[in-house]
Structure 1
Amino acid sequence: MLEFHTPSAEDKPLFEKKSKFLAYEYYFSYCMLWKDSIGITICKNDTALYIHIQEDDCFLLPIAEDLLKAMDELETYCKESGTRFQLECVPSKEALELQQKGYEIEHVRNLDDYIYESQKLIKLPGKHLQSKRNHVSQFERKYTYVVQPLTKELFPECMKMVSTTWLNGKEMNKEIKDELHAIQTAFDNWDLLGLVGILICVDHHLTAFTIGEVIDEKLAIVHFEKGDVSYSGIYSVVNQLFCSMYLSDVQYINRQEDVGVEGLRKAKLSYQPVMMEEKYRVRKP
């Protein structure tokens, strides 16, 4: 019988620090940042690393060399324990492999990750990104600002900013509470998770910050990006500057999904992703 537990610092070696997947859910940082909010538990044995999400009562794709063996083991566990057998956020390559083996798959568009080329986010080339270049230019002309690395002594100021300025006018629902908790968890585990970030101050006023992670030379993940929208162009600027400062040697940047929010989808598409990391739901027929 598989035995699941809440992930902790001691579990970091169980996760490979290389980009086997483009989907961000398959890295140690995801499990640590969101474990409290959505009830993530993990189990590692000789077959695979299994990840369960209590909130959605589902598993992620087992991280295994022998995927079919891991799926058989997971099915057996579900039958014996009375747990629902359903996988979410399964990348397209593995989903299609499982479909060939008789599993039922369903594309979940709202969970697809947006993948960008780092150099395009830095240089913003071509007519399709002209508006982004304009936003940056207008911001630079209009404001006197300072950019600096996000360091530990600045964490409280970032939490204050995100809990007041960024939150202003927003409904304090579960999603926002969960995100605020995840940001605080990022600050509390900064070195453990190997995070990097920047912040922008305009006239000594904190206007934006970004938190990200470099997996390897192929992949980086942007975990959080918060800005004061009263400063026109702030998101275009913090996006470009963070990529320029920390991600210029990385091939791809994962900026996560849009969860079906129309405005967020429009914004992410406007940056011309080089690809979408499609995600699937997998069940037994």
Structure 2
Amino acid sequence: MEEYNLQEIRIEDYNIIKEYYQMRRPETADSNILDLYIWLNCYPTWYFTNDKGLMWVAKSEDGQYYSSIPCCKDEDLKECFLETQKYFNEVLQKKLVMYVVDKAAVDLLQLPEDEYVVVPDRTYADYVYDAEKLRTFSGKKYHKKKNHLNAFKREYEGRYEFKFLSKKDEPEILAFLEDWKKHKSDTEEHEFIDSEAVGIKYILEHEEVFDYKIGAVYVDNKLEAFTIGNYESKEDMVYIPVEKANPEIRGLYPYICSQFLIEAFPEAGKENREDDMGLEGLRKSKLSYNPIYMVEKYTIIQK
């Protein structure tokens, strides 16, 4: 263990880790450093580095170790991949399992079929959208969305307001999440929402470190929707790790989706709204916003 100098992910190391994240930008939610910190309480993760990149070691709830694609330059990917494998084989005494690997990485690695199984995983494919289309909902494909949006504006005219939120609004955000949870009946989803709330609390408490924006919609002076996003200039991409709205208010989801881009990222070209986790309802919703493409992801298993 000492040889690899395995590190815990700390807020003090944010700028160091971010430098590694910038070495390769595969357009995945998993390459968004904000996601790393939001979900740290849910997916315990460590890292080690060499002179080429940063390698991951993570542990699932059932005690299984896994990794994700190293943060390094394209030309160093194979070397860092093999370094990760070496850690799994020699230190953990386990075969390497690597999740949410982008297709570009799979193509770069060119792994031999007799040594690895490479499996596509639709569950974790990210949805990428034309940001201008989401600002305007113009065109035939967005007719239904535009109708819902206009219905919201008509019904709540003079009663709604878009605002930016910050650390000082933490109690209100967490209270909203607790209330939003009531719309979900599944116990597993409740646990997921609770973990997400812990992560949101964490990034709020360290807002001076992170580069993100929180947009919110108030209806009758009550918080009814909020979203968190950050921008990566290399891809001209807005990433949306969190978006929540009162589902009983028609058109509120399209409104916050559109208005947040207008107010927070008016010039951005694309938006990554992450994966659907294999949930049928979420998949239907994300497809209804008409993605321009999907970012495919794979699982790599050492034989």
Shared fold per TM-score greater than 0.5: yes
CA distance in 1, matches of 2:174, 2:144: 30
The offset of 1:93, in angstroms, is 1.0
CA distance in 2, matches of 1:279, 1:120: 25
The one of 202, 216, 224 aligned to 1:199 = 216
CA contact (8 A) 1:145 1:202 kept: yes
* Matched letter for residue 284 of structure 1: Q
Q: In the alignment, which residue of structure 1 is the partner of 2:292?
A: 274
TM-score, normalising length: structure 2: 0.88
Spell out the pairing of 1:157-168 with structure 2 (5 A cutoff): 157-168=172-183
CA contact (8 A) 2:54 2:70 kept: yes
Spell out the pairing of 1:214-253 with structure 2 (5 A cutoff): 214-216=231-233, 218-253=236-271
CA contact (8 A) 1:34 1:40 kept: no
Q: In the alignment, which residue of structure 1 is the partner of 2:197?
A: 180
Spell out the pairing of 1:63-142 with structure 2 (5 A cutoff): 63-65=71-73, 66-81=76-91, 82-102=93-113, 103-142=116-155
The offset of 1:274, in angstroms, is 0.9
CA distance in 2, matches of 1:70, 1:258: 29
Which stretch has the larger CA shift, 37-46 or 165-174?
165-174
CA contact (8 A) 2:57 2:66 kept: yes
CA distance in 2, matches of 1:169, 1:266: 17
CA contact (8 A) 1:209 1:226 kept: yes
CA distance in 1, matches of 2:122, 2:173: 32
* Matched letter for residue 250 of structure 1: A
* Matched letter for residue 103 of structure 2: S
* Matched letter for residue 198 of structure 1: G
CA contact (8 A) 1:99 1:105 kept: no
| Per-residue Cα deviation, 1:95-138 (whole angstroms, up to 9, x for no partner) | 12323555431100000011111111101121111111111100
* Matched letter for residue 4 of structure 2: L
The one of 3, 6, 9 aligned to 1:4 = 6
The DSSP-based 3-state class of the residue aligned with 2:83 is: helix
Q: In the alignment, which residue of structure 1 is the partner of 2:27?
A: 22
For these two proteins, the number of residue pairs brought into alignment is 285
Shift in CA distance, 169/223, structure 1 to aligned 2, threshold 3 Å: closer
| Per-residue Cα deviation, 1:222-256 (whole angstroms, up to 9, x for no partner) | 11111111211111111111111112222221111
* Matched letter for residue 113 of structure 1: D
CA distance in 1, matches of 2:144, 2:120: 32
Q: In the alignment, which residue of structure 1 is the partner of 2:67?
A: 59
Percent identity (aligned): 25
The DSSP-based 3-state class of the residue aligned with 2:185 is: coil
The Cα RMSD (Å) is 1.8
CA contact (8 A) 1:166 1:228 kept: no
TM-score, normalising length: structure 1: 0.93
CA distance in 1, matches of 2:121, 2:141: 27
Which stretch has the larger CA shift, 95-104 or 201-210?
95-104
The DSSP-based 3-state class of the residue aligned with 1:15 is: helix
CA contact (8 A) 1:57 1:84 kept: no
The one of 33, 36, 41 aligned to 1:31 = 36
CA contact (8 A) 1:89 1:111 kept: yes
Stretches of structure 2 lacking an aligned partner (at least 5 in a row): none
Which stretch has the larger CA shift, 13-22 or 148-157?
13-22
| Per-residue Cα deviation, 1:181-210 (whole angstroms, up to 9, x for no partner) | 122222222221212011111111111011
Which stretch has the larger CA shift, 15-24 or 144-153?
15-24
| Per-residue Cα deviation, 1:131-168 (whole angstroms, up to 9, x for no partner) | 11111100000012011111232221111111124434
